[in-house]
Amino acid sequence: MEIVGIIHELPVELSNQIAAGEVIERPASVVKELVENSIDAQATQVLITIQQAGLKSIEVNDNGKGISADDVEVAFLPHTTSKISNDHDLFNVRTLGFRGEALASIASVSKLTVVTSQDGKSAVQAKFSGNELIKKETFARSKGTTMTVEDLFFNTPARLKYVKSLHTELNKIVDIVDRLAMGYPDISFRLIHDGKDLVWTSGNDNLQQTIAGIYGRTIASHMLDFENSDPDYEINGYFSKPDTTRSNRSYISLILNGRYIRNFQLTNAVIRGYGSKLMVARFPIAVINITMDPSLVDINVHPTKQEVRLSNEGHIGDLISDGIRERLSNQNLIPDAVKNL
């Protein structure tokens, strides 16, 4: 009897949709991936315009370096990237993206239009529907890229069902834009939802003013700045005094080499820095930047890259908590950093 193999390769549209399941959970994931691409393209201005919490449309417009006409279609294939080429690069990633999966994934579950120009004169526009290129033409626009994602999950009804209320989805979008903005005070971010301005940061490279744009001037002006570095790690940021707290930990933002990360141990290190000064079940507001050699961080742990593996977590945690403790004990000796917000 002849044995016939039953294993076969999946059509590319299907494998893209499967990959999208990992990276593109909800509208906020699209916003995250597109804005990260704008940041990697060295944009100084990023405008995010969404409708119906991103389910109707998400548009991300940047003034970054653009994509060449030759590359536009390639960018939407799975595993295509301009950011890494070999294993050395993979272990020294300095960009937010490197997996080359986001655009292929997003295009496979939406109707996507890209308009992009590298020279600020001629631009190329390409339209995709569920990964299929349906139109490509050239015209003019300023330097940069605009990605428009419409009808997200139109061809994946199960995923659409999983999406929560518009309110929840919108909150997740605002949250991710807030964190990205705090990681890049030198970039101006603006988020508009159904015609209403929700987030704006000036991009003047002042972290405290960026925090003011997100949590308000009163909170930002009462925060303390701190830094604590050694030859391998540079830690700096702002944290609230013990009298300004919240009922959960989500106001503690950790930014590692420009990437917003979630990390239980380092979040606890922030809290530990306050010693007994915090009330029970109250948590501070803090933005902590950690700068370190990228080869000591494994960011290839999870597709969304928000969880990373660090080789020296305990030590980094000590630098954070010692820095905060010291600054709190000196708080009456050193004036608040900026009074002119």
Return the residue of 17, 29, 38, 61 that touches ligand ADP, per CB under 6 A.
38
User: What Cα–Cα distance (Å) separates residue 285 from each residue in 216, 241, 242?
Assistant: 12, 9, 9
Q: Decide if residue 240 touches ligand ADP (CB under 6 A).
A: no
Residue 77 carries which side chain, given as an amino acid letter? L
Residue nearest to ligand ADP (CB): 97
**Do 213 and 181 contact (CB within 8 A), yes or no?**
yes
The listed partner (ligand ADP, Mg ion, none) that binds 62, CB under 5 to 8 Å by sort, is: ligand ADP
Q: Decide if residue 64 touches Mg ion (CB under 5 A).
A: no
The span from the CA of 294 to the CA of 256, in Å, is 9
- DSSP character string of 69-128: TTTHHHHTSTT--SS--SHHHHTT--SS--SS-HHHHHHHTSEEEEEEESSSSEEEEEEE
Return the residue of 64, 97, 144, 237 that touches Mg ion, per CB under 5 A.
97
Residue 164 has, within 13 A of its CA and on its CB side, a CA count of 9
**Residue 27, both tokens:** 């509208």
For ligand ADP, the closer of residues 33 and 169 by Cβ is 33
**Could you tell me which stretch among 1-9, 100-108, 182-190, 234-242 binds ligand ADP (CB under 6 A)?**
100-108
**Residue 200, both tokens:** 């704006």
Of 253, 207, 257, which is closest to residue 232 (Cα–Cα)? 257
Burial of 278 (0-12, 13-18, 19+ CB in 10 A): middle
Q: Decide if residue 64 touches ligand ADP (CB under 6 A).
A: yes
For ligand ADP, the closer of residues 150 and 318 by Cβ is 150
The listed partner (Mg ion, ligand ADP, none) that binds 17, CB under 5 to 8 Å by sort, is: none
The span from the CA of 286 to the CA of 237, in Å, is 7
* Shortest distance (Å) from residue 33 CB to Mg ion: 5
Q: Decide if residue 98 touches ligand ADP (CB under 6 A).
A: yes
The listed partner (ligand ADP, Mg ion, none) that binds 64, CB under 5 to 8 Å by sort, is: ligand ADP
**Do 336 and 208 contact (CB within 8 A), yes or no?**
no
**Residue 332, both tokens:** 């009456």
**Do 270 and 245 contact (CB within 8 A), yes or no?**
no
**Could you tell me which stretch among 33-41, 72-80, 197-205, 225-233 binds Mg ion (CB under 5 A)?**
33-41
* Shortest distance (Å) from residue 106 CB to ligand ADP: 8
| Interface of this chain with ligand ADP, residues 112 to 171, rule: CB under 6 A | 145
The span from the CA of 300 to the CA of 266, in Å, is 19
> Is residue 148 classed as helix, strand or coil in its secondary structure?
strand
Which residues is 61 bridged to in the sheet?
47, 146
For Mg ion, the closer of residues 29 and 245 by Cβ is 29
Q: Decide if residue 75 touches ligand ADP (CB under 6 A).
A: yes
Return the residue of 13, 68, 73, 83 that touches ligand ADP, per CB under 6 A.
83
* Shortest distance (Å) from residue 75 CB to Mg ion: 9
What H or E segment, with its residue span, contains residue 144? strand 144-150
**Do 53 and 152 contact (CB within 8 A), yes or no?**
no
Q: How many residues bind ligand ADP (CB under 6 A)?
A: 22
**Could you tell me which stretch among 37-45, 177-185, 217-225, 293-301 binds Mg ion (CB under 5 A)?**
37-45
For Mg ion, the closer of residues 145 and 208 by Cβ is 145
Residues that bind Mg ion (CB under 5 A): 37, 97, 102
Residues that bind ligand ADP (CB under 6 A): 33, 37-38, 41, 62, 64-67, 75, 80-83, 97-103, 145
